[in-house]
């Protein structure tokens, strides 16, 4: 196994930026990118549909930096708009949107219902569209500039049984990223995505079998899964001016070939 890296110190990559993170409550990539954004000097709006976990996460992150929680279900347009409006009321603007909300599950195509298919696509793909649309409108009204970073998945490239709904949604996120980037470029707004292979955290362990996690880990040449903050580091990079010439790209955060 490749030696584990140390947790990096903040370098003010997002100093004075206002960052909105969806699905930021819990132990996964969303909460990790919220923490990393705070450590990099940003003010962060935490969002999640689960109000109790959202409040707990905000309290945990409060000592790190300025954080403001707003509950939001990305499948509800009124709540999406309320999240953007609430951000602007609190901080005056939005500089970065991190689209992390997604929903998975395992089901063979022959057993999958229309409702199961639609629910995964509504949260994972259409939710990303709704948030991106609302954020771009506001960024353009502000005079342009800003960044959108989407959370895709290596499964958008790679076939895996019982994942057709999730794979289709994540492939859609990749395509949305590229098309949105073309439209946003004239306004100085960048749109990129990360494509993690495997990032383990307690919630994932609850909803995924040990056998599948072991199989996926074996595919990683590093001999381990990523930790959520390792994916978050790449998202922070894409949100920062260090990625000023990157737009419409999907960055594989992986120790394997897709």
245 is a catalytic site residue? no
How many H-runs (helices) and E-runs (strands) does the chain carry? 9, 7
Instruction: Answer whether residue 11 is part of any domain.
Output: no
Strands of the chain, DSSP E: 18-21, 43-48, 67-71, 96-99, 146-151, 189-196, 250-253
Going by pLDDT thresholds of 50, 70 and 90, the confidence category of residue 212 is: low
pLDDT at 4 over 80: no
Instruction: Answer whether residue 5 is part of any domain.
Output: no
Instruction: Answer whether residue 44 is part of any domain.
Output: yes
Range of the domain at 45: 18-253
Instruction: Answer whether residue 4 is part of any domain.
Output: no
246/128 Cα distance (integer angstroms): 20
Q: Which phi and psi (to 5°) does residue 21 adopt?
A: -125, 120
What rounded mean pLDDT belongs to the chain? 91
Structure confidence by residue, pLDDT tens digits, 79-95: 999 999 999 999 999 99
| Residue 124 DSSP symbol | I
Rounded average pLDDT over 224-250: 93
pLDDT at 1 over 90: no
CATH code: domain of residue 24? 3.40.50.720
Q: Report the number of distinct structural domains present in the chain.
A: 1
The whole model's pTM is what?
Answer: 0.91
Give the bridge partners for 148, in sequence order.
97, 191
Instruction: Answer whether residue 234 is part of any domain.
Output: yes
Among residues 7, 166, 242, 245, which one is catalytic?
166
Instruction: Answer whether residue 175 is part of any domain.
Output: yes
Instruction: Answer whether residue 9 is part of any domain.
Output: no
Structure confidence by residue, pLDDT tens digits, 180-208: 999 999 999 999 999 998 766 555 544 45
Instruction: Answer whether residue 2 is part of any domain.
Output: no
**Nearest Cα residue to 65 out of 81, 84, 43, 47:** 43
Residue percentage of the chain with pLDDT more than 90: 81
């Amino acid at each position: 196994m490749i030696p584990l890296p140390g947790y990096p110190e903040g370098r003010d990559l997002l100093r004075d930026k206002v960052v909105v993170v969806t699905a930021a409550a819990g132990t996964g990539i969303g909460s990790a990118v919220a923490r990393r954004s705070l450590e990099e000097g940003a003010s962060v709006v935490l969002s999640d549909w689960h109000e109790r976990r959202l409040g707990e996460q905000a309290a945990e992150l409060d000592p790190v930096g300025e954080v403001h929680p707003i509950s939001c279900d990305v499948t509800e347009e009124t709540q999406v708009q309320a999240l953007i409006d609430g951000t602007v009321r609190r901080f005056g603007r939005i500089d970065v949107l991190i689209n992390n909300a997604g929903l998975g599950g395992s089901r063979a195509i022959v057993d999958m219902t229309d409702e199961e298919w639609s629910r995964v696509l509504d949260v994972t793909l259409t939710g990303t569209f709704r948030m991106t649309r609302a954020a771009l409108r506001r960024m353009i009204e502000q005079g342009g500039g800003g960044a959108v970073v989407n959370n895709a998945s290596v499964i958008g490239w790679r076939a895996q049984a019982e994942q057709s709904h999730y794979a289709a949604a994540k492939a859609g996120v990749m395509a949305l990223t590229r098309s949105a980037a073309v439209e946003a470029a004239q306004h100085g707004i960048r749109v990129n995505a990360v494509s993690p292979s495997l990032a383990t955290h307690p919630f994932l362990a609850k909803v995924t079998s040990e056998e599948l996690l072991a199989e996926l880990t074996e595919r990683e040449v590093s001999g381990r899964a990523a930790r959520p903050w390792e994916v978050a580091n790449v998202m922070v990079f894409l949100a920062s001016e260090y990625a000023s010439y990157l737009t419409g790209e999907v960055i594989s955060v992986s120790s394997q070939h897709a």
